[in-house]
Amino acid sequence: MPIEVKHLTHVYMPGTPFEAKALSEVSLSIRDGEFVGIIGHTGSGKSTLITHLNGLEHSEPGVVFVNGVDLGEKDTDLIAIRRVVGLVFQYPEYQLFEETVAKDVAFGPTNLGLDAGEISERVQTALKQVGLDPASVSEKSPFELSGGQKRRVAIAGVLAMRPSILILDEPAAGLDPSGRRDMFDLIRGIHASGVTVVMVSHSMDDVGRLCDRLFVLNRGEIAYSGTPAEVFVHESKLHAIGLDVPECAKLARRLRDAGFDMPEGIYRTEDVCAAIMDNLTQKGDAKC
Amino acid sequence: MKKTIIEARDVCYKYDGTTALAVDHVTLTIAEGEFLAILGRNGSGKSTFAKLLNALLLPTEGSLTVNGIAPATEDDCYEIRKSCGMVFQNPDNQIVTTIVEEDCAFGLENLGTPPDVIRSRVDEALHSVGMTEYAQASPAMLSGGQKQRVAVAGVLAMRPKIIVFDESTAMLDPIGRRDVFALARRLNVEEGITIVWITHFMEEAALADRLIIMDNGRVAIEGEPRAVFGQTERVMALGLDVPEMMKLAAMLRERGVSLPGNIMTVNEMAVELCRLK
């Protein structure tokens, strides 16, 4: 099991007037090669949770495990863990700092002490992986690039560490619709290459389309978990905690209430379209 | 016919050291009290246009009048900024002090407004955005949506006639987004403030009175949101999206279902489908 969390509780600034419980008794496990979504509104504990997964926040022994290694043990090599678990923060382009794109992407591998040939091979591969042409961008300043390209460079910097688990915090925030589509295609590609992906998001639409399994966080606790279909069934409760289900899931529920025969838990546009067609061709006596 | 509050004629803007026009011959009138949304992919010129509206940038060509003033001198620019406030994407870039109410007072203090007037206007502005109880709080302890409301209060204290929101909801969570959008809508309806709402979110644009899609510095499509989103293929080709129900309507039509062309919401779709069954 690449990630295993057992009863994780986290309190910020304990013993001060600002004491705040960010996570309470969170348990979850993420399987090899899964694409998992973590969703919740601001302050629900999403960011605190993911910073535990690569040891940026320290946990007690016996709570957080990555590939069987207990991150809370004193002698655990957290640097090694951070090579395995790549973390892409929100707006990662703000972290770019080097003179050239190639140097920025090379920063991590260089710190690993790899030789020059290996570093340059990793930089090239990572840039290609994020859809940038190494020949044309390598020597540019990262600050000359567009917002979407900068973000790709930042992700390439994490990929160059060759993580087997990649965690992304709101990777599409602030991008325009076509930029979002491209970003999600990119992440799908990374996942297809065998990387376990954990994506944090506010958007049920996005996680519904991409993820195999979701964890919904509310006030530091896991409120719901399961496949998107299993989670979207809780439409009204999700709404109460500030989350929305995809539009098509709402439509399916409305139509079901009106007497349409709609399968439980459908939310994809294509599936809802097909179910509607089945109903219209049968002709029942629905009332609205 | 409503009074025009913003009039742009062949407005162009070119950044130093570039060859392409960031804003390319935009001709547009905005009526007083209108809620206008502007969509467009990154780099389409939306934000540059926004900065022209409150004289942070001046047109390199063409003419622009805002609330009856065409910026010619520095004083004109200050006048325009008093009548046209701006709320940016990242509230952290806009909030300057460590106490909420001081932040709201910042603009007025710089104008040399008497303290008692500042007091009443700040109280009024914070009340209007629902942040009165946070008047003494530190902005650092607020959520993104709350910070953005403080930024709006700072603008409101200046009693502007127009507020330009430049992707002000981009960094917020769904609740914060809903709150800030609802606030802009309320200021528009109740106080008659003209709103220019720049966004990447289709569902927000769908709720505007009028919608403009910019591309390559130009106005590519303009009209009532339903009519604009109705041109699904064109909108998608401009790198944007259309509301989910419009996509579904297009899929159903392809399969021979006859649906009216203006379905945009779940409710409208449900009603139409029930009628067909």
Map B191-220 to HEC letters.
HCCEEEEECCCHHHHCCCCEEEEEECCEEE
- State pLDDT tens for residues B228-272: 998 888 999 999 989 889 999 989 999 999 998 788 889 999 999
A269 shares a domain with A183: no
Contact at CB, B245 and A247, closer than 8 angstroms: yes
User: Which residue carries 């003179």 as its tokens?
Assistant: A99
Q: In what order do the strands lie in the sheet with A213-218?
A: A85-88, A165-169, A196-201, A35-39, A213-218, A221-226
Residue A62's CB: how many other CB atoms inside 10 A? 11
Q: Give the pLDDT score at A286.
A: 45
Residue A184 confidence (pLDDT): 95
Count of CB pairs separated by less than 8 Å, A with B? 105
Q: How confident is the model at residue B44 (pLDDT cuts 50, 70, 90)?
A: very high
* Portion of chain A with pLDDT greater than 70, in percent: 98
* Contact status, residue A127 vs residue A105, Cβ threshold 8 Å: yes
| Residues A25 and A53 occupy one common structural domain | yes
Q: Are residues A223 and A251 in the same domain?
A: no
Of A202, A228, A254, the residue at which a domain comes to its end is A228
Distance from CA of A269 to the nearest CA of B (A): 6
Neighboring chain B residues of A250 at a CB cutoff of 8 Å: 266
In this structure, are A159 and A113 located in the same domain? yes
Residue A157 is predicted with a pLDDT of 96
- Tell me the pLDDT tens digit for each residue of A54-85: 999 999 999 999 999 999 999 999 989 999 99
Chain A interface mutation, best of B273, B275, B276, highest count of A Cβ atoms under 10 Å: B273
SS (H, E, C) chain A: CCEEEEEEEEEECCCCCCCEEEEEEEEEEECCCCEEEEECCCCCCHHHHHHHHCCCCCCCCCCEEECCEECCCCCCCHHHHHHHEEEECCCHHHHCCCCCHHHHHHHHHHHCCCCHHHHHHHHHHHHHHCCCCHHHHCCCCHHHCCHHHHHHHHHHHHHCCCCCEEEEECCCCCCCHHHHHHHHHHHHHHHHCCCEEEEEECCHHHHHHHCCEEEEEECCEEEEEECHHHHHCCHHHHHHCCCCCCHHHHHHHHHHHCCCCCCCCCCCHHHHHHHHHHHHHHCCCCCC
Interface residue B244 vs chain A (CB under 8 A): yes
**A203, part of any domain:** yes
Domain boundary assignment for chain B = 4-224
User: Do A7 and A125 lie in a common domain?
Assistant: yes
Beta bridge partners of A201: A39
Beta strands in B99-238 (DSSP E): 162-166, 194-198, 210-215, 218-223
Tens digit of each residue's pLDDT (9 = 90 or more) over B93-130:
888 899 999 999 999 998 889 999 999 999 999 998 98
Helix/strand number for chain B, H first, E second: 11, 9
B274 touches chain A (CB under 8 A): yes
Interface of B with A in 32-91 (CB under 8 A): 40-43, 89
Total count of domains within chain A: 2
pLDDT for B1 equals 64
Exposure of B56 in the CB half-sphere (CA atoms within 13 A) = 13
Residue A55 shares a structural domain with residue A143: yes
Alpha-carbon distances of B274 from B146, B230, B244, B262, B266, rounded to whole Å: 41, 22, 19, 16, 12
What pLDDT, in 10s, does the model give residues B193-223?
999 999 999 989 999 999 999 999 999 999 9
Q: Do A153 and A267 have their domain in common?
A: no
Asked if the Cβ–Cβ distance from A147 to B42 is below 8 Å, we say yes
**Do A60 and A140 have their domain in common?**
yes
Shared domain for A130 and A261, answered yes or no, is no
Mean pLDDT of B181-187: 93
Q: Assess if residue A237 is contained within a domain.
A: no
Q: Say whether both A218 and A111 belong to one domain.
A: yes
Q: How many CB atoms lie within 10 A of CB B94?
A: 21
Dist CA A109 CA B103 (whole Å) = 44
Beta-strand (E) ranges in chain B?
A: 4-13, 23-31, 35-39, 61-66, 84-87, 162-166, 194-198, 210-215, 218-223
- Inter-chain touch B266–A176, beta carbons under 8 Å: no
- Extract the residue ranges of chain A whose pLDDT is less than 50: 285-288
Element (H, E) at B250: helix B244-254
Is residue A218 situated within a structural domain?
yes
Confidence at residue A261, expressed as pLDDT on a 0 to 100 scale:
93
- Please indicate, yes or no, if residue A204 is contained in any of the structural domains: yes
The span from the CA of B199 to the CA of B14, in Å, is 22
ipTM: 0.78
Domain limits at A134?
3-228
Residues in contact with B275: Cβ distance below 8 Å, sequence separation at least 6, in sequence order: A288
The half-sphere exposure of B113 on its side-chain side, counting CA atoms within 13 A, is 20
Q: A109-135, pLDDT tens digit by residue?
A: 999 889 999 999 999 999 999 999 999
CATH number at A139 reads: 3.40.50.300
Q: Does domain B4-224 have CATH number 3.20.20.80?
A: no
Specify whether the CB–CB gap between B163 and B85 falls below 8 A.
yes
Same domain, A173 and A266: no
Same domain, A281 and A158: no
Q: Is B274's CB within 8 Å of A41's CB?
A: no
Alpha-carbon torsion, ordered B187, B189, B191, B197, to 10 deg: 40
